[in-house]
Amino acid sequence: MVNGIGGSGAGKAAIEAALKSMRTRAGSLGAETGAIGESKVEDGSSRGFAEALKDGLSTVDSEVARAGELHQDVLAGRLDIHEAATAIKESKITFQFALQVRNKLMDAYREVMRMSV
Residues 48-90: tens digit of each pLDDT = 888 888 888 888 888 888 888 888 888 888 888 888 888 889 8
Considering the domain architecture, whether residues 72 and 98 belong to the same structural domain is answered as yes
What angle is formed at CA 44 by the lines to CA 41 and CA 45, rounded to 5 degrees? Answer: 75
| Three-state DSSP state, 51 | helix
Express each pLDDT in 8-36 by its tens digit: 566 667 677 777 776 776 665 555 444 44
d(CA 117, CA 2): 53
Residue 90's φ and ψ, nearest 5 degrees, are -60, -40
Domain total of the chain: 2
Considering the domain architecture, whether residues 53 and 93 belong to the same structural domain is answered as yes
Is 38 part of any domain?
no
Looking at per-residue pLDDT, the higher value among 6 and 72 belongs to: 72
d(CA 18, CA 21): 5
Considering the domain architecture, whether residues 16 and 54 belong to the same structural domain is answered as no
Task: Identify residue 24 by its one-letter amino acid code.
Answer: T
Considering the domain architecture, whether residues 11 and 51 belong to the same structural domain is answered as no
Domain that holds residue 105: 46-114
